[in-house]
Amino acid sequence: MKTDVLHCDANNFYASVEMAKDPSLRGKNLAVCGDPQKRHGIILAKSEGAKRLGVKTGQTIREAQERCPDLILIPPDFPSYVKYSKALFNLYTSYTDRVESFGLDECWLDVSGSHTLFGSSEHIAEELRRRAREELGITISVGVSFTKVFAKLGSDYKKPDAQTLISEENYKEIAWPLPVQDILMVGAGAHSFFRSVGIRTIGDLARTDEALLVQKLGKMGSTLRAWANGEEDSPVKLYYETHKPESVGNGSTAEKDLTTRDECIQLITAMAERVGTRLRRHGMLANGVHLYIKSNALTTRGKQRRIPMPTASATDLKDAALPLLDELWKEGSSLPVRAITITAIYLIDSKEYVPTSLFENDELAQKHTRLEKSIDKIRDKYGSDVIRRGNLIAEKDDDFDEESKPFKRQ
């Protein structure tokens, strides 16, 4: 019986991290939510107790409090979520180097090469659950199976702090009765079609004529049917493989409408800092920048331009974005400004770029990037607040999504 694929899913991740940080919150009804004053007043995550009372992700704070009057509201702490996520992945990679991320709180593991050292797949799953609980203070659910799709079904099957085995022998008993929308990649369009032709369960999908599915859903119809029949053999990727993005962007809704150019520049500078940091971590350089502005009337405008020399510098990205801001500002159709997004485009791998060192702009871009790489190292060691641009000092901590101090177990 081959069951070498695990899918690990941290339960109620944001809320669990908050309880790990502050054990006095354990057992209480809490929700991580945006700040209503910043127009992000929705539930991002909830504890198990709040979930049982009907609190759902995406609800407004008012709706959640109607369901759960004693709900404790906590603002998001994204640097901590990143730190706990890294700690989880460090735990996973101590058992195998084949760990494929599916977000901050989910991943697949291929443990086919780990049995000699660590025992069976089910034993490894039990160990991962125990260590996550004891070492990090959070719980995970684990699916154990022979395909990635069924492993993910298994991690969703029982929660919290549980594991489910879906094998070649039992998948028809466990997976086939589940709703068809539970299988990976079934979106609203596919689900609507399935309902229209009487496909209610994964078993129904598995037994449906392939030609009909291909006719209505194209190649994806054939793929979904194969997955429902346990015919999926995509490998779990190596954790250290790099997946180069085609663009890197960051946007933010302002706390209040921006009515002056200087206010917009301050937000652009903050966005450029985040984009530059991510570019350097990906090992990428940008040859262009796109600036997108949303007005308080929810109209949107965007412009883009090439950058003279490839760069991963926040300074260069900001400088390239400012002429675009001026163009949009003169047109006036996006004023007052509600939200700004800056995106680095036309990316290349920094290893493939050979600096000419003949042009002043090229030398300046290299200088900016080297300086900001040094700042990255200082921030990684001492926290994101230790060095900040002068025009951002007044910014609040929660306006930054950079990583803070190294993870420490509470």
- Active-site residue, 106 included: yes
d(CA 251, CA 341): 4
SS (H, E, C) the chain: CCCCEEEEEECCHHHHHHHHHCHHHCCCCEEEECCHHHCCCEEEEECHHHHHCCCCCCCEHHHHHHHCCCCEEECCCHHHHHHHHHHHHHHHCCCCCCEEECCCCEEEEECCCCHHHHCCHHHHHHHHHHHHHHHHCCCEEEEEECCHHHHHHHHHHCCCCCEEEECCCCHHHHCCCCEHHHCCCCCHHHHHHHHHCCCCEHHHHHHCCHHHHHHHHCHHHHHHHHHHCCCCCCCCCCCCCCCCCCCEEEEEEEEEEECCHHHHHHHHHHHHHHHHHHHHHHCEEEEEEEEEEEECCCCEEEEEEEEEEEECCHHHHHHHHHHHHHHHHHHCCCCCEEEEEEEEEEEEEHHHCCCCCCCHHHHHHHHHHHHHHHHHHHHHHHCCCCCCCHHHCCCCHHHCCCCCCCCCCC
- Cβ-based neighbours of 373, under 8 Å, separated by 6 or more: 280
Q: Is the peptide bond before 179 cis (omega within 30 degrees of 0)?
A: no
**Whole-angstrom Cα distance, residue 245 to residue 226?**
29
Question: Which member of 18, 100, 106, 273 is catalytic?
Answer: 106
Residues with a catalytic annotation lie at 106
